Amino acid sequence: MRLLKIAIYTFVLAVTSQLLCAQIKILYGPYLQNVKDTEATIVWESDKPSVGWVELAPNDGSHFYSEERAKVFDTTNGVKNTSLLHAVKVKNLAPGTAYRYRIYSQEVLSHEGISVIYGKVAASDVYNKKPLVFTTCDPNKNETSFLMVNDIHGRENVITKLLNAANYKDKDLILFNGDMVSVFKDRETIFDGFMKESIDLFAAEKPMYYARGNHETRGEFATSFQNYFSPKEPFLYYIFRQGPVCFILLDTGEDKPDSDIEYSNITDYDGYRTDQVEWMKELHKNEDFKQAKFRVVIAHMPPLNSPGIWHGQKEVLNKFVPILNEIGVDLMLCGHLHRNVYEESSSKIQFPVLVNSNNSVVSVKAEGDKMNLEVIDLDGKVIIKKSYSTK
């Protein structure tokens, strides 16, 4: 009996000391968000509460260890955040320029009064692997190419198949247009549902921009969406510019009326969509918007009219379309319907609308005054092909 007690005690001690000494790990990421011409946000999650920072180095051929690199910390109002999730915005970058980066998390073991005890550090590898690299956007670039996928609903390997079918490695950026998972339950849903696959494939080095779908608004983790995507931006709707294209990302909200029992009285998407109309009224003053050769709207729910149209899509039709007609856009890319639809511009909707299915990828290349679009299915077959010229 005594021997058994000693054995149990030794085992518990060993497990406890193992747990206490366990090395902090980067669990997910890093991945890029909101890459613009002079700034970018880098996001990652570690397995223990920690402070986080990014080291940034020029892509000049020097070894990452050749000198002390500039550090940018994850902070709020000047105080370093102790958190599992880290987001760092790096600023004052040069347009169209490649930067190397390294992420760090240092465990915070305790914080009592003015005493903080730090633990071990985890970082991305710059010795056995090439340091991670990203390139800032460049409004003066003559051409750009990009891909868009949507309505993945957590299905494994679909993003990889679609992006490979469209040669994602040659493209400047990737757009996610909503419903990447069905319910936003927890962080595992995000990473197991689509982000781990995306990070493994491209998202640490190639910019990804995300327009929220209606399914990302559901679930107990839905209010955490912006902690992970566009975490340093004021809103989930925004514009950015790459080469000849100005991208306008909108958030079309939910599909049913706000009063529907499914939303348990927690939403006001009608008001939120009106806020976006007010924001769009100011876009004509924005230089990136004004000077772009092509203006492309990314919005999950399409404004297409049909006898069975639901409230959310009606709002997109009745609120978003008039202001988009007024400010002038060249193309609207949507999802939501799980089928491919292409509608030419009409007197009511004065720009073409493409709805991409859940099993195809939109591939667009804009160069000078021309923009070419292809919709490619899982087998690599081109199922829609369109061309646009500047007006």
Residues at the contact surface with Fe ion, assessed by CB under 5 A: 179, 213-214, 336
- CB of residue 181 to Fe ion, shortest distance in Å: 11
Please provide residue 78's backbone torsions phi and psi, each rounded to the nearest 5 degrees: 85, -5
In angstroms, the CA 357 to CA 366 distance is 22
- CB of residue 214 to Fe ion, shortest distance in Å: 5
Complex with Fe ion: residue 187 or 336, whichever CB lies closer: 336
Enclosing H/E stretch for 77:
none
- CB of residue 65 to Fe ion, shortest distance in Å: 47
Please provide residue 231's backbone torsions phi and psi, each rounded to the nearest 5 degrees: -70, -20
In angstroms, the CA 366 to CA 345 distance is 19
Cβ proximity of 328 and 171 under 8 Å: no
Written in H, E and C, the secondary structure of 104-124 is EEEEEEEEECCEEEEEEEEEC
Beta carbons within 10 angstroms of residue 16's beta carbon: 10
Complex with Fe ion: residue 198 or 214, whichever CB lies closer: 214
- CB of residue 342 to Fe ion, shortest distance in Å: 18
- CB of residue 174 to Fe ion, shortest distance in Å: 19
**What does DSSP say about strands 353-355 and 331-334: parallel, antiparallel, or unpaired?**
parallel
Complex with Fe ion: residue 215 or 319, whichever CB lies closer: 215
- CB of residue 312 to Fe ion, shortest distance in Å: 9
Beta carbons within 10 angstroms of residue 350's beta carbon: 14
Cβ proximity of 278 and 235 under 8 Å: no
Enclosing H/E stretch for 143:
strand 143-149
- CB of residue 153 to Fe ion, shortest distance in Å: 9
Complex with Fe ion: residue 134 or 272, whichever CB lies closer: 272
- Which residues are CB-neighbours of 3 under 8 A, at least 6 positions away? none
Complex with Fe ion: residue 30 or 213, whichever CB lies closer: 213
**CB-based closest residue to Fe ion:** 336
Complex with Fe ion: residue 50 or 358, whichever CB lies closer: 358
Complex with Fe ion: residue 29 or 335, whichever CB lies closer: 335
